[in-house]
Copies of this chain bind each other. A is one copy, B any other.
Amino acid sequence: MNITFNRDNLKGFVDEAEFKALILEIQKAHEAIEKRNGPGAEFTGWVDLPGRIKDSFLADVTKLGREVRKNSDCLVSIGIGGSYLGIRATIEFLGTDRKFPVYYAGQNLSSDGLHDLLDDLKSKKVTVVVISKSGTTTEPAVAFRIIKKFMHKKYSAKELKKRIICVTDEKKGALRKIAEKEGYQTFIIPDDVGGRFSVLTPVGLVPLSIAGVDVKALIAGARLAQSEFSKMDLEKNIAYQYAAARYLLYKKGKAIEVLSSFYPNMFYVAEWWKQLFGESEGKNGQGIFPASLNLTADLHSMGQLMQDGVRNVFETFLIVDKPKYKLTIPSDKDNLDNFNCVAAKDLDFVNKQAYRATAMAHYEGGVSNMTITVSDISATTLGQLYYFFEKAVAISGYLLGVNPFDQPGVEAYKKKMFELLGRK
């Protein structure tokens, strides 16, 4: 595995006996997930999804990606929630080809953002992927109206059959109907995988393949993780250890989990994580509040509060063992800044010391912390990490006693929104 987990800095906050006392509960949760008979079982298709994806499908999607990159300068990916965050997290984590930009639309209702996007697209050869199970979620539906009109002005109906790709329900829904009427190419969103677990379905794979991500490697990583994290052995299963630690800290009054990473390319991985955990656990008056920090930037901001504020927080560090590039710090003959102590060292050495300093300082300040380390910036590793978190949240949701696979609260806003818009 390309992921390791360290919980040394839970010492004094959660002890080993408490982990052991939780084993039976975890076993119950584990069995409910593996046997698909717990709350929300109809949305546990993600559990064996990596193993079920056909290699021929991955080959087809890879080929589609190559073709689109040949006839286009950029991709516009339209979607919100689970049809947005996983895609962006993957692309930003891996740092795909900067000469083939991916733009996002339908993830908000900002006129200024969409105006600037249309402006950028004018001079470019464009392919659009629109992702929506129903086709009636306001944000992507309205963005698609605007972008569809733009594309119809720019291209012939024949050309659009290649340049607009819909990822939607197999049979029903507005987007399915639009695609059939216009003859757009389509891919299917499975019924048994909820939005926030969908990055490894066509929801993620289609736009990611177009962006140049090695989707075979992504799935290969997830398959490894599926096998590794299906073992009911708390000593070895680090996804279960992470779930158990979070639950025990929550029960001791830690209301907030802060995911802290030291790499700007992890920013959207943290956003994806917030959605996964917030939406899965935040219900029935329960759940940890997930927040994220971008370090070391935020050490000079939220760092003060982490060190000295209300002790209702615990922290999870997300570390990359080997970044992509090396960058040597130069020596300076005058040494006016007194940093010749790190001259000739790689910048990442300083970053790792910053992590160690932070973990120690926060621990001493009363913030227990854990560390998830991934070995490198690769699709295989990210596939493992996605599955790690998915399995962990399923266990931790069941420990909490909630259905981690529904989202009744999101409907409250959607309903009010339709009323205010006069939509039937």
Contact = CB atoms under 8 A, between A and B. Distances in A.
Contacts of A334: 178, 181
A158 interface: no
A225 to B, nearest CB: 22
A417 interface: yes
Nearest to A95: B112
A17 interface: no
Contacts of A256: 255-256, 289
Choose among A113, A275, A282 the residue with the greatest number of B CB atoms under 10 Å from its CB.
A282
A82 interface: yes
Contacts of A409: 303-309, 365
Given A336-B174, A420-B357, A289 B262 contact: no
A361 B411 CA distance: 10
A244 interface: no
B115 A325 contact: yes
A157 interface: no
Interface in A52-110: 80-82, 84-85, 95, 98, 107-110
Given A300-B80, A330-B145, A409-B365, A420 B307 contact: no
Contacts of A307: 409-410, 412-413
A285 B107 CA distance: 37
Interface in A186-242: 195-196
A357 B415 CA distance: 8
A309 B283 contact: yes
Given A325-B115, A357-B416, A351 B110 contact: yes
Given A81-B300, A284-B308, A337-B178, A264 B110 contact: yes
Contacts of A33: none
Interface in A280-316: 281-287, 289-291, 294-313
Task: Give the oligomeric copy count.
Answer: 2
A123 interface: no
B174 A262 contact: no
Nearest to A277: B305
Interface residues of A, number: 120
A175 B334 CA distance: 12
A171 interface: no
Interface stretch (A1-9, A19-27, A37-45, A339-347): A339-347
A35 interface: no
Contact of A108 (B144, B279, B295): B295
B422 A341 contact: yes
Contact of A109 (B175, B195, B301, B350): B350
A279 B351 CA distance: 22
B421 A111 contact: no
A286 B301 contact: no
A178 B333 CA distance: 12
B181 A329 contact: no
A330 B149 contact: yes
A114 B301 CA distance: 21
B145 A336 contact: no
Contacts of A383: none
A302 B277 CA distance: 9
Given A281-B305, A286-B310, A407-B304, A420 B353 contact: yes
B312 A181 contact: no
25 contacts: A80-B297, A81-B301, A84-B300, A95-B116, A108-B294, A108-B296, A108-B297, A109-B347, A109-B351, A110-B264, A110-B265, A110-B347, A112-B325, A142-B350, A144-B337, A195-B300, A255-B312, A274-B302, A275-B301, A278-B309, A282-B302, A289-B309, A300-B410, A304-B407, A304-B409
Given A278-B305, A286-B310, 11 more contacts: A81-B300, A108-B264, A108-B295, A109-B262, A110-B323, A111-B327, A274-B301, A282-B309, A283-B309, A287-B305, A353-B417
